[in-house]
Structure 1
Amino acid sequence: MSDHPPPPQRLETPDGRQIAYHKLPATPDQSTRPGVIFLGGFRSDMNGSKALHLEEWARKHGRAFLRFDYSGHGQSSGTFEEGAIGDWFADARAVLSALTAGPQILVGSSMGGWIALLLARSLPDRVAGLIGIAAAPDFTEDSMWATFTTPQRASLMADGQIALPSDYSETPYIITRRLIEDGRDHLVLRTALPLPFPVRLLQGTADTDVVPAAALRLLDHAAGPDIRLTLVQGADHRFSDPACLLLITETIESV
């Protein structure tokens, strides 16, 4: 028996992008329960520790589960620098629409939390619950553009991109003018954000990429009957040590 994992399946979106994904069907006794979709972060892929932990949990419990790479990420088509929030939202919407049936539990990590909120706003009937892990809505405006220096802003507008150092890779982030401008078309914290289903926000107090104040802002802004924020002392942005991973799956089960 081979130790190599099976290759991903592929979905061609209405925009012509090839999205790589892994899908786990529900067992018959769990088929009436909502499936779980993992939405990864900015420049991450579907093979991260949180996605794989959730897949193993879903396999153990017979739950339907789906993980995928946005275009320009991981094994999907396209290049990262050409993408923007609207593209990745369209990818996620295509995945939700084409590969799942009925309401799903959306688990969004960092940028994936923003994508999950966009899905919830556009397709509320397809969402059974939403879990944000260090959710980063509107980060292109509030964490990038708002903190750029005047020379950085001028360079971005004139050259179309700037390079930023990364804490997670030796390769710098290339931030494009299109990413910033497209992000402004998809902001969720400037207008009403009804979330009429259970919402759980998980946030580490030691997260320097998405600070706890961002989670409090989302909690304060969103409107819904069942929205809760859990702060985890000492957890960082990765939110992937054993205790954090256990908290994620316990949260799914509670929703």
Structure 2
Amino acid sequence: MTEIRFHEMADGRRIAHRFAPGQGPTLVFLPGYMSDMSGSKATALFEMAVHTGRACLLVDYSGCGASDGDFADGTLSRWRDEVVAVIEAAALDKVVLIGSSMGGWLMLMVADALPDKVHSMIGIAAAPDFTDWGIAQMDKGLLADGETIYEDNPYGPEPTPTHPAFWADGQANLQLEAPIEFYGPVRLLHGQRDEDVPFDLSLRLCEMLRSDDVQVTFIKDGDHRLSRETDIAVLMRTVADLLLARDPES
């Protein structure tokens, strides 16, 4: 792994990232909620890119991993702006956005912010709009009143918080209520034993994307994380196949 670099935002917070130069388009991995660039999928992607001479960028959102900030201040809009800033600071021409879980929501927002730079997208159990469908109505009332809610975390000892600012920003950035104006290649991977994000959400996302080049792959025994060796192998094959796709602007 290359050394961690930092991009300084206008307010002084430093956004940690790793960059491997190489052939483009640059693979950009967007982690899930409360995750960072040290995860198994991000690490495998980066190692594959280095081994094959592909450009790759990993990013830690503020309040996550090695980046500055408090997680409680994090919102989708804030994290989108950080990802956009790092991409622009690196002067990347074309990128492939690879979003895991919440990162699959964020990639849609980044693609909207950088329409001329995004070559294609890969969603891994993409979870757009989970502040709407993934939170009980009674909890939404608490969030609307400014309270943080906590849920059991199947992946660690600490409960998972949802902060009011994150929820409100999510509700302001719902993606599945209207057609999504993206026309490049999209690949969606989803485990059918995902207990966190219903696998039919990938079908809904497929329906809402304007692109005609969208493929959905279900992994029948796959869970939400899709981090087994066999799952990561599917991701690597998907990336390799997508890089052969014709640039939609060429």
| Structure 2 match to 1:111 | 102
The amino acid of 2:225's aligned partner reads R
Residue 25 in structure 1 maps to residue 21 in structure 2: yes
Q: Percent identity?
A: 37
Matched, 1:171 2:167: no
Query: Which residue of the other structure, out of 172, 176, 200, is the alignment partner of 2:187?
Result: 200
TM normalised by structure 1 equals: 0.90
After TM superposition, give the deviation of residue 79 of structure 1 in Å: 1.1
Letter in 2 for 1:104: V
Q: Distance in 1 between matches of 2:198 and 2:92?
A: 35
Shift of 1:52: 0.5
Change in 2 beyond 3 A, CA 1:226/1:162: same
Detail structure 1 runs of 4+ shifted over 6 Å in the superposition.
none
Instruction: Tell me how large the CA RMSD over aligned residues is.
Output: 1.5
1:1-255 mapped onto 2 (5 Å cutoff): 7-26=3-22, 31=23, 33-144=24-135, 147-148=136-137, 150=138, 152-255=139-242
Aligned residue for 2:54, secondary structure, equals coil
**How big is the shift at 1:106?**
0.8
Per the TM alignment, residue 105 of structure 1 is displaced from its structure 2 partner at its CA by: 0.8
| SS of 1:34 mapped into structure 2 | strand
Secondary structure of the 1:19 match is strand
8 Å contact from structure 1 (residues 24, 66) kept in 2: yes
| TM-score using structure 2 length | 0.92
In 1, the alpha carbon distance for the partners of 2:165 and 2:232 equals: 34
Contact 1:24 1:65 in 2 (8 A): yes
What is the CA-CA distance between 1:235 and the residue it aligns to?
A: 0.5
Name the stretch that deviates more: 164-173 or 65-74.
164-173
Q: How many residues align?
A: 242
Q: Deviations over 1:204-245 (max 9, x none)?
A: 101111111211111111111201100011101111111111
2:143–2:167 contact (8 Å) kept in structure 1: no
Task: Specify every segment of 5 or more residues in structure 1 that has no aligned partner in the other structure, as ranges.
Answer: none
Letter in 1 for 2:126: A
Q: 3-state SS of the aligned residue for 2:184?
A: coil
* Whole-angstrom CA distance in 1 between matches of 2:141 and 2:61: 29
Deviation at 1:7, TM superposition (A): 4.4
Contact 2:29–2:42 under 8 Å retained in 1:
yes
Contact 2:31 2:99 in 1 (8 A): yes
Instruction: Report the structure, 1 or 2, having the larger helix content.
Output: 1
Distance in 1, matches of 2:102 and 2:160, equals 15
The answer to whether the 8 A contact 1:164-1:174 is kept is: yes
Aligned equivalents of 1:100, 1:170: Cα separation in 2: 39
Counterpart of 2:46, as a letter, is E
SS at match of 1:89: helix
